[in-house]
Amino acid sequence: MQLEFVPIEDFYFALTLAVRPLEDIGDGDLVALVRSRLELLCGQPSTIAAATQNNFNYVFVVDNDHSPTSKLVVSIADWQNKLRLSSDYGWELDKERKPVRTELFNQRSDFAHQLRSHLESWLEIPLPNSPVS
């Protein structure tokens, strides 16, 4: 898996209405650690929200051979003092731009596991186990 960072200038072009949470993990300490590592590796977040429940969002385009779409999107954000991993894996937009499930929807938990493993290796931070959303 390879992640290509989407800078703030391109954020709205990359994010789709089909991006949905994969899982929320950890606590405030993990959020601060991940944010620090992402800031070091990628610079400024793709978007910054001035709200108590959400302060940053790093968005990536994913190079992954297991998708029927040309590009997948992954979002790493803080949400209510937890780390939220989201993706459009298993979703696509129909002709009316409404999100619909694809045949890969049932494999979202497998994708979440792959993403977690990649992030642990890339960020050099162990992620605690949590149920998939």
pLDDT values of the chain reduced to their tens digit, one per residue, 133 residues: 778 787 766 665 556 678 899 999 989 999 999 999 999 999 988 876 666 677 888 989 887 665 555 678 899 999 888 999 999 999 988 888 788 999 999 999 999 999 999 999 999 999 987 654 4
Distance CA 117, CA 133 (A): 17
pTM for the full predicted model = 0.82
Torsion angle of C-alpha atoms 13, 14, 19, 24, degrees rounded to 10: -120
What are the tokens at 89? 């894996």
User: What are the residue boundaries of the structural domains of the chain, listed by start?
Assistant: 2-123
